[in-house]
Amino acid sequence: MKTTASLLSAAFLCSLLYYTIGSGSLAGEETASSTKPTRPASPPPLLIQTPPQDSQSHLHNLFQLTERIYSGAQPDDDAAFVEIAKLGVRTVVSVDGARPDVAAAKRAGLRYVHIPIGYDGLDQAAGESIVNLIKNAEGPFYIHCHHGKHRGPTAAAIACIADGSADHESAMHILEKAGTSKHYPGLWRDVKSFEMPANDKPLPPLVPIAPINSMASLMVAIDQANEHLHSFADEDWALLESHPDLRPTGEATLLREGFREAVRLRSSSKTNDRASDDDAYWNQMIAAEEVAAKLEDAIRSNDHASANRHLDQMGTLCTKCHEQYRN
């Protein structure tokens, strides 16, 4: 009887030992059924490489970030769209304010998605649209702005986060590699702070041409940058206590880019503006862009006297234009 009991006891202990070791659980450790959250795996290294191109390439500032995500400059003709298709891309994504050439993309067998963003950063809807793109559209994706250096890489970095291919640190490296200017702090800020929406949150629809008035949006951004610059001038170009996140150089860059983008949009989209066909109006916009460039240079050179003079010139141009076309 004692021998039998000893054998049963040994068998029980062996079974218990097998269970605890075989199941990967030892005394004091969580079992597989534990509710303790698991640490997410680190994303794989990004490629961030330039695919081989010949001297006749129609794509500029081209980067491959992952197996599914490319960024680059705006494709300008049929040959550029064909070149994109040869990369294996299925969906072209414009984050530019200009009207996408949907017909040219279609001829190359490509879908176009339009998610316009500004130089001042991504709003919530744009970020959520990029998430919808990654989750539900057919890739690979070619994401572009106009030059492929600032807004496009920013959106592509967000796409990599949404795809699980990048964390915030590696996403910021995308901007560095693409040469995204630090004078667009909103772009850097929004990549660094991007958070995925809740899984059950409805996402914005994906459209080939976004129904926005690009000129109206640009004029709001121009007015805001101009107002900030006047605040800096009132403080002898010192940083503002009311806006510690702003820098004079950044606002000057946004002002110049606003006028430059407005002039470019004249030929690529309808402005729904009574001045849109008036050459005199556009000549004033071109003149304003030139003054904004001089203002930016003066601020970067810490030439405050010249900056004040160019800011006054900008005020004169704006007042004249508003009297003719806005008031």
Average pLDDT per consecutive 10 residues, the chain (327 residues; last block may be shorter):
46 42 35 38 74 83 95 94 97 91 96 92 94 97 94 97 95 95 91 96 95 68 87 92 86 89 69 59 89 94 95 89 66
Residue 109 lies in a domain: yes
| Residue-level pLDDT at 8 | 42
Q: What is the CATH number of the domain that holds 188?
A: 3.90.190.10
- Give yes or no for a contact between 270 and 276, defined as CB atoms under 8 angstroms apart: yes
Residue at 39 is within a domain: no
User: Is 133 within 8 Å of 206 (Cβ atoms)?
Assistant: yes
Strands 91-94 and 69-72: unpaired
Residue 46 lies in a domain: no
User: Is residue 263 domain-shared with residue 318, that is, in the same domain?
Assistant: yes
**Same domain for 230 and 187:** no
Structural domains of the chain, count = 2
286 belongs to a structural domain:
yes
| 174 touches 200 (CB < 8 A) | no
CATH of the domain at 273: 1.20.120
On whether both 173 and 275 belong to a single domain, the answer is: no
Write the CA distances from 228 to 118, 165, 245, 306, integer angstroms: 17, 37, 12, 17
Tell me if 92 sits within 8 A of 81, measured CB to CB: yes
Residue 137: per-residue pLDDT? 97
3-state secondary structure of 142: strand
Residue 5 lies in a domain: no
Instruction: Provide DSSP, 214-247.
Output: HHHHHHHHHHHHHHHHHHHHHTTTPPPSS-TT--
The model's pTM is: 0.67
Distance CA 228, CA 174 (A): 29
The pLDDT value recorded for residue 283 is 87
Strands 69-72 and 63-64: antiparallel
pLDDT at residue 268 in the model:
58
Closest CA to 141 of 119, 170, 112: 112
Q: Report the pLDDT value the prediction gives residue 216, as an integer from 0 to 100.
A: 63
Partners of 114 in beta bridges = 94
The predicted pLDDT at position 65 comes to 96
Where in the sequence is the domain holding 246, given as residue range(s)?
A: 214-325
Residue 22, domain member (yes or no): no
Query: Do 284 and 168 belong to one domain?
Result: no
Do 164 and 68 lie in one domain? The reply is yes
Q: Are residues 150 and 218 in the same domain?
A: no
Comparing CA positions, the residue from 146, 137, 18, 150 lying closest to residue 69 is 137
Residues 189, 97 share a domain: yes
Do both 170 and 227 map to the same domain? no
Residue 21 is assigned to a structural domain of this protein: no
Tokens coding 3: 């021998």
Determine the pLDDT at residue 19. Answer: 37
Confidence (pLDDT) at 140: 97
Q: For residues 280 and 299, give the distance between their C-alpha atoms in angstroms, rounded to a whole number.
A: 29
Q: Do 233 and 159 reside in the same domain of the chain?
A: no
Are both 67 and 126 inside the same structural domain? yes
